[in-house]
């Protein structure tokens, strides 16, 4: 699937992802073995201290990994996350976040990858996540 | 701190936690070494397929662990999650979720615990999380 | 399977587990949903500082989880660990270690559980592990 | 520290790492933000099925991360692993393993990184690990 096809598919089955009539996320790239997803900055992502909350970063990582998996296996609705491990590295700025996903394995049953998260325009990552997805059996 | 004191503290520094003028969460118990937190069911927690989303479950676990840590170290604002690892076990029903947090270690620098998540009234857990919190130095 | 049957099975397919003509491990209990495995103290488990090494504790957790899984699914050789997450909590004493494994989910494809590790005779855990096992399809 | 200095330091405080009068590991590179460590193939690393065991891969990852951390903070004996999360991706061949470590954060209290593990001469990784180290306060 192309980035546009993944985008259409996700929008169709998961309309909640676009909050307040605006896109929360944009798929910026989908390549063999990788994807880049941008989470647009929004007030509702904040936590105490004025930084972006952990669950907002986790949601970005989960989505970026889903984009990579869908891009490689096609529009299967029941790919589900089985494990997510996140290390929080630095307090993110009040900016868009970029999630760079890398597919480490695409097996018959499990897909595994990691996502490195950056604040827009900065070099030092704010979070790093490893994820496993149960891959549905194609019919 | 008591459950009520933790509840007041969290509400004061993190008002976003109560969405749409309703409590999203209730602290049901705070004991030596543990806490129980309820996440009230809401439409906005859903993901494709009609089950509660991973990030909503992660947010519950993060909050339940925060409640335990605050209950044991007092009202320190800058306790932050450093690592969260979650295994998704079963699709949760469209019900309240209960997070049972257990403190495994309260060190000078790190607090570590786990949270087992259940759908209200059911025995089989829907998710299990391990978390580490960086503990601020008390002044 | 009973504890003795699991023990025989593991010894048959994994003889390396008994080092230097002595048992490295003893299965102390196997119950519905749980197992307790003892790792006998040995010099070769030490790391700098004179405490038991991380990999030795991970090996105990992996074994304890394998015991639980085998006890519930039977003698299937190709159950393999897919994910292991460990938090190191305290420096273990130069003593036997006890691993208390708990099965959180036994699905058709994945088994998930956790293992809490104690130094013999002590109450505060030295490590806590979450593990996922790919469950082979029974023939 | 250079690779040779880290090597000397590790050998001095952790002589068990060289088994049977042979080096078990070689530090192949130490660069700003990274390290490459080779684990020499040995029979005792095998598990049932004839592949290299999980604990042997975890030990390589733990060592590779330790090398990176020491290379950046200097010869401090009490840097200890606090969290390790590993995904097992493919069965490794009966060959040397290469661990490519990357430092994601070097903070005042925690260092965080990941290690991708390959069988010698192959492109697809056999395991991927995220690790956190508690960094001692330099005196």
Q: Considering only residues B2 and C51, tell me which one the structure prediction assigns the higher pLDDT.
A: B2
pLDDT of residue C50: 76
Task: Measure the CA dihedral A55/B123/C78/C8, to 10°.
Answer: 130
Does residue C32 form part of some domain? yes
Domain membership of residue C20 (yes or no) is yes
Length of chain B, in residues: 139
User: What total of structural domains would you count in chain C?
Assistant: 1
Q: Is the pLDDT of residue B121 over 70?
A: yes
What value does the mean pLDDT take over residues C110-136?
96
- Rounded CA-CA distance D106/A89 in Å is 9
**Could you read off the pLDDT of D48-94 as tens digits, one per residue?**
677 888 989 999 999 999 999 999 999 887 788 999 999 999 999 99
Smallest CA–CA distance, residue A137 to chain B, in Å, is: 17
Percent of chain A, pLDDT > 70? 92
In a domain, A112, yes or no: yes
- Residue D71 within a domain: yes
A139, part of any domain? no
Given CB atoms, is B112 within the 8 Å cutoff of chain C?
yes
* Record: contact D110-B82, CB cut-off 8 A: yes
Domain that holds residue B67: 3-91+117-134
Instruction: Say which residue, A56 or D20, is predicted with more confidence.
Output: A56
| pLDDT tens-digit readout, A72-87 | 999 887 788 999 999 9
Q: CA-nearest residue of chain C to B133?
A: C87
Give the torsion sign (CA, A17, A20, A24, A28). Answer: positive
B31 touches chain C (CB under 8 A): no
Rounded to a whole number of angstroms, the distance from the CA of C10 to the nearest CA of chain D is 9
D12 vs B138: which has the higher pLDDT: D12
C44 inside 8 A of chain B by CB: no
Considering chain A, what is the average pLDDT of its residues? Answer: 90
Question: How high is the pLDDT of residue A21?
Answer: 60
Contact D56 C55 (CB under 8 A): yes
Long-range contacts from C13-17, C-beta under 8 angstroms, 24+ separation: C13/C77, C13/D48, C14/D47, C14/D48, C16/D44, C16/D46, C16/D47, C17/C63
3-class SS letters over chain A:
CCHHHHHHHHHHHCHHHCHHHCCCEEEEEEECCEEEEEECCCHHHECCCCCECHHHHHHHHHHHHHHHHHHHHCCCCCCEEEEEEEEECCCCCCCCEEEEEEEEEECCCEEEEEEEEEECCCCCCCEEEEEEEECCCCC
B44 pLDDT band, cuts 50/70/90, is confident
**Is residue B37 one of the residues assigned to a domain?**
yes
Instruction: Kindly report the CATH number assigned to the domain that includes residue C31.
Output: 3.10.129.10
pLDDT of D107 strictly over 60: yes
Q: Which residue of chain B is at minimal alpha-carbon distance from A128? A: B83
Q: Is D139 contained in some domain? A: no
Contacts of D128 in chain A (CB under 8 A): 104, 112, 114, 130
- Determine, yes or no, domain membership for B108: no
Cβ–Cβ contact D52 with C under 8 A: no
Phi, psi of A28 (to 5 degrees): -90, -25
The answer to whether B85 contacts A80, with C-beta atoms less than 8 Å apart, is no
Contacts with A124 from chain D: Cβ below 8 Å: 105
pLDDT of residue C132: 97
């Amino acid at each position: 699937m192309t980035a546009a096809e993944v985008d259409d598919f996700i929008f169709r089955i998961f309309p909640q992802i676009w909050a307040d009539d605006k896109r929360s996320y944009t798929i910026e790239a989908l390549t063999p073995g990788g994807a880049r997803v941008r989470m647009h900055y929004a007030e509702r992502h904040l936590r105490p201290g004025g930084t972006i909350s952990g669950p907002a970063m986790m949601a970005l990582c989960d989505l970026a990994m889903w984009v990579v998996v869908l891009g490689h296996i096609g529009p299967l609705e029941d790919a589900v996350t089985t494990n997510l491990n996140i290390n929080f590295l630095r307090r993110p700025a009040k900016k868009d976040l970029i999630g760079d996903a890398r597919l480490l394995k695409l097996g018959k049953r499990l897909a595994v990858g990691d996502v490195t998260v950056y604040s827009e325009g900065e070099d030092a990552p704010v979070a790093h996540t490893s994820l496993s997805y149960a891959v549905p059996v194609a019919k």
